[in-house]
Structure 1
């Protein structure tokens, strides 16, 4: 009788412990996002955010845009994998993949499935290695998830994937199924080995650009200075300081020599006669390769984020000139921004694209003299309807930064 009573008590205690463990596990699962959205990051002193809307309203607007973006572009790619649908044919590119990984890690806490999405995107990236370095991602796949147009990499996709893995380590830790920090260091080292020209410390356009004039060319929309500094912090590799220094040198050389009246930077840059110059027409993509076009429209967002989170002033003159120019050019009316300008400020674009006006809201954050302009850009960006993958992605990134919810490693 005593044994039976003891066994019953033992079973009861065991059941209670199991229930307690399950409850504790559920609580832990619900609180695993250490940098849960919204973050409300304190940016560099003197910078601004929109003042014509409350912080809560900005957070809600970002959440709404994320929900729409996720519904339209985040898709399953077989068991345990996700990909980003970047065109109507159902294909994808590594640029889009990097965007998706950044969005999911930043929206964790608000989106309870964020880590599932992130891990699925990671699994897809690992399933599509570059033929030049397996830690980098093959740049393009079709709707059947087959590599097309070469299995080499694109630097911007590689950099965003690497940066997202660093954020994932901060967000969820690296003790789970995926060691995010080790994975981040692996791709960061691969970027240094294959996406960086270590003779002159420039960012290549991809791991394929290793010979001839292409080996010294670069793309200013890849100038993600906050990423580069995070790579240095994570790996303690001092070579990243060389890349940061050279990148800022190129920004200011282009500004001083080719766009001193506008601050605009071109889609592509070539190294010729011992100096960096805007690429000639049809260098890589089209006749506007040397102008401010659909690659460079991301520059006001990409370059400004380093100043916002790190306080680096090396591009502040270029950013200030660019802000003053666009306000004057459009008479402070965001709806008048067109999708394409020569570096002297002459417009050749004809549409008011989200991809062009939203990033100017980020660059406006550097100084209180831009407050009214920033408020206007926020309002236009927030009220805009969904377009295509590219426009909607840049719009969402810009709103994340403008609302104070961008953070770094």
Structure 2
């Protein structure tokens, strides 16, 4: 289970632009003029086409859409150069995670698939890279359920630590496959749709608690195991559950989504009424769910807003802006109102760790904590200046090639904040 113990090291200040200057390699990116019109064999929803609007009333950063999209592409190019690799042959593409416990983790492969599918049209190699990522995932099945991804690989891309799964990676792998089916169809090298449905059904079987309908930590947590009634807030991805319902027609995913939304609302109300912050881990999910009372998996701060929960504003906000769901909007707005007030409107004051009452327990700075709040800010019509300040911070912060986690959260938060995110529905 050491693959679950990914305590993030404290980040240094953002790297200077010189760290990535010269690291970028030539790649066939589409020109700005080609974003909105895909070639006949190209993606159905090319990056920058904005075919699928957000809910009414959602903000966007100030400035021209073309300039905003260009800033996302600049960040993507740096992220890709730093982390998308072919280090192990076999036609595989892997997402490298130098700051995790192992060079390759399931979370990273999921991030890579989602990002690559969304950036199709801006990167003409997206489908080739995505297929290489699929090949990698299929070559690394979990030892407990072969329909899931083994969560950790060593520098030789060999699965280690029991070859079991981590829920967050599997959720994104399945979601990425659905994005790919919508982008390119499923009649090519891989039948993305059937692979997605297989993965979704494996998640349902082995990573959803059948009693609470909440996400388990991985397929290693089975009935009777000590973590069986624990759930991680960053796995509560309502937009993914909507896509899974659409792809499978299985009403279980509506039940799962509602269970998580109700838990988010109740945890905010009971334990963070002034902040909206959620704990990294919630325990006692079968009785009276509450923030972890100290270390239950990773650190003494498992009951605080730490290196897992820092993604929550992005995950909750992504559902809010794409669905307009009242519960997700309310939860995202609560987070946004608190952080805007806490920092006095200065994104540079966001730090790497908060107790649920809003007091800090850490003083570091990292994009993993800063970037998600830009997504939450989209939901509040009164937060244009705050959103613009956040966007400026994100767009001006270079990718640090040593910090895959913060860079990956930064990029994905920027994709959502720019209006370039969408939820695959039907096919």
Query: C-alpha distance in 1, partners of 2:237/2:228?
Result: 19
**2:315 maps to 1:302:** yes
Post-superposition offset of 1:315: 3.1
**2:170 maps to 1:158:** yes
**2:56 maps to 1:45:** yes
Distance 1:237 1:323, change over 3 A: same
Query: C-alpha distance in 2, partners of 1:148/1:375?
Result: 43
**2:79 maps to 1:60:** no
Q: Which runs of 5+ in 2 are unaligned?
A: 1-36
Of residues 204-213 and 377-386 in structure 1, the stretch that sits farther from structure 2 once superposed is 204-213
Q: Residue 95 of structure 1 aligns to a residue in which SS?
A: helix
In the other structure, the counterpart of 1:190 is: 202
Post-superposition offset of 1:316: 2.9
In the other structure, the counterpart of 2:26 is: none
**2:164 maps to 1:149:** no
**2:231 maps to 1:218:** yes
In the other structure, the counterpart of 1:390 is: 405
Post-superposition offset of 1:91: 1.2
Query: C-alpha distance in 1, partners of 2:44/2:67?
Result: 23
Distance 1:47 1:272, change over 3 A: closer
In the other structure, the counterpart of 2:89 is: 78
Higher relative contact order (CA 8 A, sep 6+): 2
Q: Is 1:253–1:276's contact at 8 Å kept on the other side of the alignment?
A: no
C-alpha deviations, 1:108-167, integer Å up to 9, x for none? 111111001000000000000001111100000010111112211001000000000001
Distance 1:28 1:386, change over 3 A: closer
Query: C-alpha distance in 2, partners of 1:74/1:109?
Result: 17
Query: C-alpha distance in 2, partners of 1:46/1:294?
Result: 30
**Residue correspondences, number:** 382
Post-superposition offset of 1:78: 0.7
Distance 1:144 1:368, change over 3 A: same
Post-superposition offset of 1:273: 7.8
Distance 1:237 1:302, change over 3 A: same
In the other structure, the counterpart of 2:98 is: 87
Q: Which runs of 4+ in 1 moved over 4 A?
A: 27-30
Post-superposition offset of 1:368: 1.1
Q: Is 1:217–1:270's contact at 8 Å kept on the other side of the alignment?
A: yes
In the other structure, the counterpart of 2:297 is: 284
Q: Residue 368 of structure 1 aligns to a residue in which SS?
A: coil
Q: Is 1:84–1:97's contact at 8 Å kept on the other side of the alignment?
A: yes
Query: C-alpha distance in 1, partners of 2:269/2:83?
Result: 39
Q: Residue 284 of structure 2 aligns to a residue in which SS?
A: strand
- Which has the larger Rg? 1
Choose from 162, 170, 175 the match for 2:182: 170
Q: Is 1:135–1:186's contact at 8 Å kept on the other side of the alignment?
A: yes
Q: Is 2:38–2:121's contact at 8 Å kept on the other side of the alignment?
A: no
Post-superposition offset of 1:321: 2.0
Choose from 293, 306, 326 the match for 2:306: 293
In the other structure, the counterpart of 1:359 is: 372
Distance 1:273 1:401, change over 3 A: closer
In the other structure, the counterpart of 2:415 is: 400
